[in-house]
Structure 1
Amino acid sequence: MRTTTNPPIRSLLSSTPAASAKPGKAAPARHPAYRQIGRGRGMTTDDVVTKTAAVLASTVASTVVTLQVGSWVPVTVALPVALGLAVYLTFRPRDSAVLALLYAVAQGVVLGTTTRVSETVAPGVAMQAVIATISVFVVVLAVYKLRLVRLTTRRVKWFIVVLVGFLLTVLVDVLLGSVVGVDLGLRDIGVMGVLFSLLSICLAAFSFLLSFAAADRMIRDGVPASWAWYLAFGLVMTLVWLYTEILWLLTSARL
């Protein structure tokens, strides 16, 4: 039964440990989820690393420029662009370098504005958030490489259920706050806000595991190298999510 239209996640849901290629045997045929996504040279680990570095560098550069400019005008344009591209690429995956880099630049503007506000309230918190984000990423990568957590089909499905519930809760909170002025307290400086932020951090960390597994699977399935841009978009989007949550948590702790 199909549970998602996202090719990497669909691939993970339909794969089993026994499906992995064994030494000395022919490489597995392209997974059905990728039959219609194009042709070309097969993706390699280097493709994923270089494309992710390019998207991340664009995000960082945009963030730094925004911090230097100090204007509120760019974020009014960048925020809807970043959100729109994030939603579009999540549900309609594309192997587009242009869309991935455009998202990176727009998201960098949003990050720069958010960071500037946090630094005004709690000086030095941005660097702490960067260090914490890198630390979480490295730990999750080590956990994946050492196979300390096994990504079973059931776990992936449960993660999708929890993530959808989380996103719906955020959407309801935004709608209630903007339409009827009701605040669920998800971003209050208190127990509820801290617990919600910790849940977000845990979901972001697990998302990294799915991204790593999807990258391995796509490489094994012989997916065209251009789809490394899509993986790069996903990894950077999760990094941004993780950084934003850690930044909020550290800033609220200083208030």
Structure 2
Amino acid sequence: MEFKSSNPFLKEKSFENTSRANDEVITVHQETMTVSGTINKSFTMLFMLLSTALVSWWLVGNGYNPIIFAIGGGVIGFILVLVASFKPTTSPYTAPAYALFEGLFIGGISAVFEAMYPGLVIQAVSATFITFIVCFGLYKYNIVKVTETFKSVVIGATMAIFAFYLISWIAGFFIDFQPIHQGNSLMSIGISVFVIIIAALNLFLDFDMIEKGTQARAPKYMEWFSAMGLMITLVWLYVEFLRLLAKLSSRD
């Protein structure tokens, strides 16, 4: 069975290795990954993320520097993603920790955007939630089917976006310029819309990966691993909505 995802966290090797080990040592149904188990863990991670996001938001409102939470939470969250990606068996520990630290990151940047544009955060949260529900419904009822061509296009577009962001970030250290995806020009807004579409399409591949992992009877800890991968996509989608809405608001 072939596993592919544009989410670099839900990668083919992780599921292939666990599927192979599962065929050898796991025979009891309760010890294998299930869709319901993954959903429950996803909600647990979401609750944890929102809890620390509210804490960091409250601290920023009381005079603490939001950059501390944004950078600190983001860096530690990224490290935890790398650890879980290379060693999925650590997911029952790294996934909850990721949710907690990523919540600090989300709370920090949300407080900054909200201070600049009041009401922006609730709009971004609503847009993210609606996008998730729509994509889930389209996938559940087979309106959108995840084919190999679909996967290839989304993977290619996702890698291109991350390469573009990385190159722009590195170039900023050496060249005094404003990347075209920054600012509030029509081109910048168009790029944000494109990135949001690609992030949303990643949700379809994540849903497909969770379903395939369940069918392959992956080990139970892969529920945490998969929930973490889904959370990564949702965080990305939320941040991109924040950026787009901020650009639109700055043009008013």
Shared fold, TM over 0.5: yes
Residue 87 of structure 1: CA displacement?
4.5
Pairing of 1:100-139 with structure 2 (within 5 A): 100-139=95-134
- The one of 177, 183, 186 aligned to 1:191: 186
Query: Residue 27 of structure 1 corresponds to which residue in structure 2?
Result: none
Query: Residue 200 of structure 1 corresponds to which residue in structure 2?
Result: 195
Distance 2:142 2:76 in 1: 37
Structure 2 unaligned regions, length at least 5: none
Deviates more, 1:99-108 or 1:180-189: 180-189
Are residues 6 and 172 of structure 1, via their aligned partners in 2, closer, same or farther at CA, if it must alter by over 3 Å? closer
Distance 1:123 1:236 in 2: 25
Pairing of 1:4-153 with structure 2 (within 5 A): 8-10=10-12, 34-36=19-21, 39-40=25-26, 41-70=31-60, 71-72=64-65, 73-90=68-85, 92=86, 94-95=88-89, 96-153=91-148
Distance 2:35 2:177 in 1: 47
- Percent identity of paired positions between Structure 1 and Structure 2: 22
Q: Which AA in structure 1 matches 2:12?
A: R
Contact 1:58 1:105 (8 Å CA) reproduced: yes
Are residues 76 and 245 of structure 1, via their aligned partners in 2, closer, same or farther at CA, if it must alter by over 3 Å? closer
Deviates more, 1:70-79 or 1:244-253: 70-79
Query: Residue 229 of structure 2 corresponds to which residue in structure 1?
Result: 234
TM-score of the aligned structures, taking structure 2 as reference length: 0.85
Contact 2:10 2:229 (8 Å CA) reproduced: no
Distance 2:10 2:79 in 1: 20
Residue 62 of structure 1: CA displacement?
0.8
Contact 1:176 1:183 (8 Å CA) reproduced: no
* Deviation string, structure 1 residues 215-246 (Cα, Å, up to 9, x no partner): 11111111112110011111111111111111
Q: Which AA in structure 2 matches 1:139?
A: V
* Deviation string, structure 1 residues 22-64 (Cα, Å, up to 9, x no partner): xxxxxxxx96662147955111122111110111111110100
Query: Residue 18 of structure 1 corresponds to which residue in structure 2?
Result: none
Contact 2:18 2:218 (8 Å CA) reproduced: no
* Deviation string, structure 1 residues 127-180 (Cα, Å, up to 9, x no partner): 111111110000000100111112111221222122111111100000011232
Aligned length: 236
Contact 1:100 1:229 (8 Å CA) reproduced: yes
Contact 2:180 2:188 (8 Å CA) reproduced: yes
SS for the counterpart of 1:79 is: helix
RMSD: 2.6
Contact 1:85 1:103 (8 Å CA) reproduced: yes
Q: Which AA in structure 2 matches 1:154?
A: T
Residue 79 of structure 1: CA displacement?
2.3
Query: Residue 22 of structure 1 corresponds to which residue in structure 2?
Result: none
Residue 111 of structure 1: CA displacement?
0.7
Are residues 112 and 140 of structure 1, via their aligned partners in 2, closer, same or farther at CA, if it must alter by over 3 Å? same
